[in-house]
């Protein structure tokens, strides 16, 4: 079972290996394997980077 897989086995909102243009939005589930205390934290962020060399970075607040 994957993060975007329903109980019947179908996959919804999969953005795996999909391109996203600047100014566009995409939504779906992303799964992280973290300890319980981290999962229950109220200040969760993920850092993303652009391009082949990751020269630009940005933080995304997680809900």
What pLDDT score does 1 carry? 54
What residues form DSSP beta bridges with 25? Answer: none
Annotated domain spans of the chain: 1-63
Calculate the CA 6 to chain-centre distance. 18
Phi and psi at residue 60, in whole multiples of 5°?
A: -115, 125
**What's the pTM value of the predicted model, to 2 decimals?**
0.48
Whole-angstrom distance, CA of residue 21 vs CA of residue 36: 34
Rg (CA), the chain: 14
Series of mean pLDDT values for 10-residue runs along the chain (63 residues) = 71 72 78 88 89 84 83
List the one residue out of 7, 26, 1 whose CA is nearest residue 16.
26
């Amino acid at each position: 079972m994957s993060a975007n897989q329903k109980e019947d086995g179908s996959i919804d909102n999969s953005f795996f290996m999909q391109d996203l243009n600047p100014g566009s939005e995409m939504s779906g589930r992303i799964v992280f394997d973290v300890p319980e205390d981290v999962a229950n934290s109220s200040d969760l962020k993920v850092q993303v980077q652009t391009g082949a060399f990751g020269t630009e970075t940005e933080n995304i607040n997680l809900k």
